[in-house]
Structure 1
Amino acid sequence: MNNTIKAVNYQSIAWIKLIELNLLLAILLTLLWSSYADIVHIWWRSQTFTHGFLVVPIAIYLIWRKRLEIKKITLKTEPLAIPLIALTGLTWLLARLTEVAVVEQFTAVALIPLIFWLTLGTAAARVLTFPLGFLIFAVPMGEALVDPLMQFTAAFTVMLLRLTGLPVFWDGTFFSIPSGDWSVVAACSGIRYLIASLFLGTLYAYINYRTLWRRLLFIILSGIVPIFANGFRAYLIVMIGHLSGMKLAVGVDHLIYGWVFFGVIMFLLSALGNLWMEPPLSATPNNTNLDSELPLTITAEPLKRSAALLVIGLISFAVWPLLDTWLQRPQSAPTDFAFTLPVGQDHWQPRTDAFTDWTPRYLDATLEMRRDFEDQTNTTAAPVGCYFAFYSNVQGELVNSENVMVSQNHPLWRMPSHRTIQVSIAGNDMTVIESRVHSDSQTLLVWNWHWIDGYVTANDYVAKIYQLFAIVTGHAYRQVGVVFYTTITDNKQDAAHQQLQRFANDMLPVINARLHEIP
């Protein structure tokens, strides 16, 4: 009996494939529930990603629009999807272990179109490329762009103010004009405009254009226009405040002006897009009777082969969350890190009192320690302090965007600038993040970096790789945020830099030796 191919009713195989697809998606949703729940939670609490609630309904609608094209395609299980599903699942696991939320959530969403590909086949996946690809907008990502967007908005605003003829004192994201002081904060970075514009622009391009170059051009414009528009919006708000004697556009009303301005920009952008609108395709004759033109029977793949591939596909993504459950079994944090702060080295001696009330923000650290020192050989030299934030990998995470030298809404302290620099400490080159923080009464120069199981880095992505190594080798508790700081006097930042350099040369070898003693 020939069991390799057979002709069956199209509706029958379509229903079988639909059941298979929904079954695999239900299993995926169950196993990766925490990742999807985190995504929805971010949609709920963050105005930047509220559009996420619309993504799935829109994707379902776009898939429904393709139903007649799908009916012309032979649906069959695609084995080429299995290795990609396994690789994506592995990436999800690694991201979850190292707490890289954006990668974890991206891969969790990426598994959905891969399951469509596995179940329905390559031809169907090709037809559904955009509807399934549109799911990427469900992933709450883009926050890494906040800082560069803030810097650009500040620079663009200052440039326009100077072109207007106003004198401006500019310091990072802070600037002053004769009528008052201004700063570009995260809410003014334009990230919300950018993400919303790309979301709407991509959907507009897909629905209104057919040729690829038109779609890509409009999507590119949807990414560029809001960035410059946000800079111009910031300039207008500053000018409104300046011309009104700081009575208008200085509170919540400037956010309202911002969204009205964004609405105008999106209207103008869509009007521009209409200029190269393509004529609609000629209507298909007897479109309503298209179903009758489809074949009543279709060649089906062998049932045993399809079932085997689906089982392998199921295993290729199910194994990773099950492995995660085993690796994330309850752990207990050590009660003693076996770390003692250095009391002095060479001519550096501990101070009896703190020389600053500033402290970096490391959320949910298992243990925090700090000590200030002064140079006994030079009583006029600025004091230097060191701070350590220890993480146990049971609660909290060292590499976190919320762990900053100064929070955006801090009532006293500001951080106008920071940069990554290369320094030579005790004959070894290392990279640190150098920041300048200040209050009304004091300015500090700060160096900070990550120490993870003996590895030192200032790069968050490299730190995540080191965290993974530490977890695999059983050293998950050896994660420390290290901060050195000193005062800047008379705006002499170079002198403060040299003071930190001297302190690090003398003290860091001792500190690193004690960090290595952490169990």
Structure 2
Amino acid sequence: MFLKPPPGVMNATATPISRQATFLIVLALLAPFLLYLGTVRSIISVWNSSETFAHGYVILPISLWLVWRRRENFSLYPPRPWPPALLLLAVLGAGWLAAQLGEVQVVSQYTFVAMFPVAALALFGPRLAGSLTFPLLFLLFAVPFGEIFVAPLIQFTADFTVWAVRATGIPVLRSGTRFELPTGSWSVVEACSGVRYLISSITLGSLYAYLTYRSTARRVLFVALSMVVPVIANGLRAYMIVMIGHLSGMELATGVDHIIYGWLFFGLVMFVMFWIGSFWREDIVAPSMPAPTTMPASVAQGAAAPRRLPAMVAGVVLVCAFWPALALLGERANHNPAPVRLADVAVTAPRTADFADWKPFYMTPDARFHQAYQAGSLPVSLTILYYRNQDPEKNLISSMNRLNGYEDAWHEVESAARSETVAGTPLTLHEGVLRTPQGAIMVWAFKWVGGHYTGSDYVGKLWQAANKAMLRGDDGAAVMLAVPYDNDKERARAALHRFLADQGTALDQALNATRTHQ
């Protein structure tokens, strides 16, 4: 708790914030919630649909509580509007607009939430806002970010578990993130990735470090530990679950009890980490008081600040309102009401029966095409998923879109980048090998975005944003070629390369015809 200065000093230097100023500040900070209501809904939607981010509901109350703990600062450092912050607010607004154009939801959400600390900087000034840095920046934990870590965390957990089980002396047969022990089969899926533990640990660790330590070094060290510890702990958790199942003949830790055990284990790990961290806690000290000699200037500046506050509130609201208005105009101009009619792909190779029941794990497209062809000695299947008028629920490029679902029968066991050419356009595409107990396929996947080919999601998003900025719409498609795989990579690659070389022009014509057809 902060120590209060002597009454005489407080009365001399303090400039209590008036009710009118408080009302104006609250109004300015509430305005973005209404102006960016779509982004607010997208954040809440993820909170509601994913237990990983359910903690988002408590972030704002915690941030407000942290500000309340430092309420004396509003008297020590009276709000003094700072116009340069409006430029930074405009940069965030432009970033939000670019993310909207590219349908990059997480960037839209981060730029929106970041507007609140910057708006506070504009309204309060550097000194007061600086004294509230952590409470304001803590709001960023409300953004549901972390899905990008699921795949690498799954891979690490599988690697760690298999290594630990083998080190115990138990034979393991592994295929990707699935493995078999003499007593049964196991698979590391999304729920086992530990991403929930990681996000919860980082959030709690940051809050604990802020409340417990004063030195930046100790805070950074503890936050770093809160990132590393849950990853290692999740590997140990997975190993112990497998061992419990193995030693019990697959009767224990194979159902809901394994989830319960996981959270109990995580809770114990966090308790121990916080308990150890408490040995190095540092008492919070009071902020330094302004020198009595600065009293006249302080009072004069504090008196002038309220006169500038209404203008700054208007500036904050106008800057925040400009970008949603521009986005609304662009959305209406880019909207294409015509239904998608996928043009015929004039493939010259003969059609043949499909050779696999694989389907990509993608958001539902506006149009879908799938057909197998006999291309030389191997059949090749062509899959096209076409999107138009994209939104968060129907998006070509998303972390939710993968060659296979985490719980699908098909499982990606190998992946690589490969340079190829489509209709004379060079690109680096994704090569993946997918397996089931019945067989395997090799898949080449890439994107077509408004006439441009790319294998990079980041480049694809840039093309999408550029096309929408030029009012050319957001048409795009995912293209996948698949071939039976018998562990002969060169044979499979040769078949895919030949098909792409022979049919690439027909594919390009079909995609462009679909885009221009009204």
* Fold shared by both chains (TM-score > 0.5): yes
- Partner letter of residue 150 of structure 1? I
CA contact (8 A) 2:16 2:74 kept: no
Bigger relative CO (Cα 8 Å, ≥ 6 apart): 2
Alignment of 1:27-176 (within 5 A): 27-176=31-180
How far has the Cα of 1:131 moved from its partner?
0.3
Listed as ranges, the matches of 1:118-517 within 5 Å are 118-278=122-282, 280=283, 299=301, 300-301=303-304, 305-329=308-332, 331-335=335-339, 337=341, 339-344=343-348, 348-351=349-352, 353-375=353-375, 378=376, 381-394=377-390, 396-410=394-408, 412-423=409-420, 429-489=426-486, 491-517=487-513
Shift in alpha-carbon separation, 1:182–1:37, aligned structure 2, 3 A: same
The answer to whether the 8 A contact 1:150-1:173 is kept is yes
Quick check: 230-239 or 501-510, which moved more?
501-510
2:7 alignment partner in structure 1: none
Q: C-alpha distance in 2, partners of 1:499/1:166?
A: 40
Give aligned-pair identity as a percent.
36
Any conservation in 1 of the 2:21–2:306 contact (CA below 8 Å)?
no
Paired residues of 1:470 and 1:478 also in contact (CA < 8 A): no
Contact 1:157–1:235 at 8 Å: present in 2 too? yes
Per-residue CA shift, 1:72-95, capped at 9, x if unaligned?
Answer: 113211111100101101111121
5+ residue gaps in structure 1? 1-6, 288-293
Moved more, 323-332 or 435-444: 323-332
Determine if contact 1:17/1:119 at 8 Å carries over to the other structure: no
In the alignment, is the contact (CA less than 8 A) between 1:453 and 1:479 conserved in 2? yes
- Residues 421 and 232 (structure 1 numbering): CA distance in 2 closer, same or farther, change over 3 Å? farther
Tell me the alpha carbon deviations over residues 340-399 of structure 1, each in whole angstroms, 9 at most, x when there is no partner.
Answer: 11231xxx3222x22222222332311101221113xx4xx2200111111112562111
Deviations 1:461-518 (A, max 9, x none): 21111111222333325311101001112x3233212221222122213312332333
Asked whether the equivalents of residues 451 and 512 of structure 2 are also in contact (C-alpha less than 8 Å), the reply is: yes
> What is the aligned-residue RMSD (CA, Å)?
2.5
Is this contact kept in 2: 1:17–1:75, CA < 8 A? no
SS in 2 for 1:301: helix
The answer for the alignment partner of 1:3 in structure 2 is none
Give the CA deviation at 1:128. 0.4
In the TM superposition, residue 238 of structure 1 has moved relative to its aligned partner by 0.8
Equivalent residues of 1:10, 1:298 under 8 A apart: no
Matched residue type, 1:442? G
Greater Cα offset, 496-505 or 384-393: 496-505
Deviations 1:210-260 (A, max 9, x none): 111011100000000101111111111111111111111111211111001
Pair 283,306 (structure 1): closer, same or farther in 2 beyond 3 Å = closer
How many correspondences in the alignment?
Answer: 494
TM-score (norm 2): 0.89
Alignment CA distance shift 1:453-1:102 (3 Å): same
One-letter amino acid of the structure 1 residue matched with residue 495 of structure 2 = Q
Counterparts in 2 of 1:131 and 1:498: CA distance versus 1, 3 Å: same
Structure 1 contact 386–483 (Cα < 8 Å) conserved? yes
SS of the aligned residue for 1:67 comes to: coil
SS at match of 2:118: helix
1:356–1:264 CA distance, 2 compared to 1 (3 A): same
Mean Cα displacement is larger for which, 21-30 or 255-264? Answer: 21-30
CA distance in 2, matches of 1:394, 1:171: 36
The 1:336–1:275 alpha-carbon spacing in structure 2 relative to 1, beyond 3 Å, is: closer
Structure 2 unmatched ranges of 5 or more: 1-10, 290-294
CA shift at 1:11, angstroms? 5.6
Letter in 2 for 1:444: I
User: Please, what TM-score do these two structures have when normalized by structure 1?
Assistant: 0.89
CA contact (8 A) 1:370 1:386 kept: yes
CA distance in 2, matches of 1:270, 1:303: 43
Q: Which moved further from structure 2: 432-441 or 267-276? A: 432-441
AA of the residue aligned to 2:510: R
Helix, strand or coil at the partner of 1:422: strand
Q: Give CA-to-partner distance per residue, 1:393-440, whole Å, 9 cap, x none.
A: 256211122222222233x33333433333456775421111222233
